[in-house]
Amino acid sequence: MYKIYSNIISLFSLVMLCLQTAGLLQAQELSVKGSFNKDSTKIGEEVVFSLSVSYPRAVDLVFPDSTFNFYPFEFLKGRYFTTRSDSLMSFDSAVYYLATYEIEPVQKLRLPVYILKGKDSLPVFTKADSVFLIEMIDELPEEPVFLSDNTFFKIPAQFNHPYFFIGLGIFAFITLLVILFFGKKIRVAYKRWKIRKGFEKFILMFEHHKKELLENKNSASAEKLLSIWKGYLEKLDDKPYTKMTTREICNLYPGDDLKNSLRELDKSIYSGHYNGDTMENIINTLIGFTRERYTSLLSSLDHDR
């Protein structure tokens, strides 16, 4: 039994040795090159490192990516080029954009490519290439000489953050008190102001189109005037007047004046026949009805205070 185990162990060792030998042979067939694009750089300045490799087509390999430790450099970005192949060999290349924030006068870097072996990988490195760091600040003398200067220099006052936050807190507290005690009155006052501004804007627009209708006396002007009237009432009462017919509107607000005016306006739009005096009365009826709705809404807001 011991002899069987011994033979198995020997066979396993032989297989592992063969695999390692094959890996070394493949690594020897690789040609990995890497170099910087310039001899010197500054702290924080971009420097480019080019990496290229030629290898047998049967080999699978990968390049380092952003997760690789490029110390003493910091990775900025990478650019990878498409593989080129012939009948025996393949060629890959990549460019890495790096920057350094270290202060060593000479900084070196070498990068690997990884040969894939199942779940394992074998790194093959380039030769190390180096760049010189350009010093931006000259060395201070051993005994610096200080110059006297009695010129007045005004130092700007600093912003007082503690007082700012205390003031902000007081302002927020006062605002909260105002909202608690006067919030409803403020909302009603703002709503009244908004309704009043809307009505004033409607009157100006309506009067402009009224003048246009009385001068031109065409269906388009009459239809536009009716559309403006319905659109304003829709905002005022929050009801879909623009989608309602004359009959539906009259059912909501029964009254001979409004009903007759809307019917006459419909006839004028569809027939194209206009009577100046009649049209003037129709328009005045619509304005009067709108003013009643506007006044009624303001009165309802007064009761909500």
pLDDT tens-digit readout, 34-58: 999 999 999 999 999 999 999 999 8
Tens digits of per-residue pLDDT, 88-123?
899 999 999 999 999 899 999 999 999 988 888 899
- Domain final residue pick, 74, 105, 133: 133
Q: Is the pLDDT of residue 21 over 70?
A: no
187 and 299, same domain (yes or no): yes
Q: What is the pLDDT of residues 217-249, one digit of tens each?
A: 788 888 888 888 888 888 888 888 888 888 888
pLDDT, residue 208, reads 86
**How high is the pLDDT of residue 3?**
45
Q: Is residue 147 part of a domain?
A: no
Whether residue 21 is contained in a domain is answered as: no
Question: Same domain, yes or no, for 105 and 191?
Answer: no
Domain total in the chain: 2
Q: Is there a domain that residue 287 lies in?
A: yes
Alpha carbon 184 to its chain's center: 37
Query: pLDDT tens, 124-180?
Result: 999 999 999 987 766 656 676 766 776 777 777 777 888 888 988 898 888 888 777
Q: Encode burial over 130-147: b for 16+ CB neighbours within 10 A, e otherwise.
A: ebebeeeeeeeeeeeeee
Where residue 44 falls (left for φ over 0; alpha for ψ -120 to 50; beta otherwise) is left
Region 184-212: mean pLDDT is 84
Each residue of 19-34: b (16+ CB within 10 Å) or e?
eeeeeeebbeebebeb
Asked if 213 and 287 sit in the same domain, the reply is yes
Same domain, 88 and 200: no
User: Residue 15 has what pLDDT?
Assistant: 42
pLDDT band at 27 (very low <50, low <70, confident <90, very high): very low
Q: How confident is the model at residue 304, as a pLDDT? A: 59
Task: Evaluate whether residue 159 is within a structural domain.
Answer: no
Burial of 166 (0-12, 13-18, 19+ CB in 10 A): exposed
pLDDT surpasses 80 at 184: no
pLDDT band per the 50, 70, 90 thresholds, residue 63: very high
Domain assignment of residue 108, yes or no = yes
pTM of the model: 0.41
The segment with the largest mean pLDDT, out of 3-7, 21-25, 188-192, is: 188-192
Which tokens sit at 29? 């067939």
Q: 191 and 293 in one domain?
A: yes
CATH number of the domain at 41, please: 2.60.40.740
Place of tokens 């760091």: 133
**292 and 228 within one domain:** yes
pLDDT at residue 255 in the model? 76
Task: Name the domain boundary from 102, 133, 164.
Answer: 133
Q: How far apart (Å, rounded) are the C-alpha atoms in residues 232 and 199?
A: 8
Mean pLDDT confidence for 193-205 = 87
197 and 129 co-located in one domain = no
Give me the chain's average pLDDT, please.
81
Q: What is the pLDDT of residue 12?
A: 46
Q: Please report whether residue 153 resides in a domain.
A: no
Question: Which region among 9-18, 61-70, 92-101, 266-275 has the lowest average model confidence (pLDDT)?
Answer: 9-18
Q: What is the structure's pLDDT at 205?
A: 87
C-alpha triplet 265, 267, 273: angle, nearest 5°: 95
197, part of any domain: yes
Residue 16 lies in a domain: no
**Which range of residues forms the domain containing residue 86?**
31-133
Are residues 90 and 202 part of one domain?
A: no
Given 94, 114, 133, which residue is the final one in a domain? Answer: 133
**5 pLDDT tier (thresholds 50, 70, 90):** very low
266 versus 82: which is more confidently predicted?
82
At 78 the pLDDT is 94
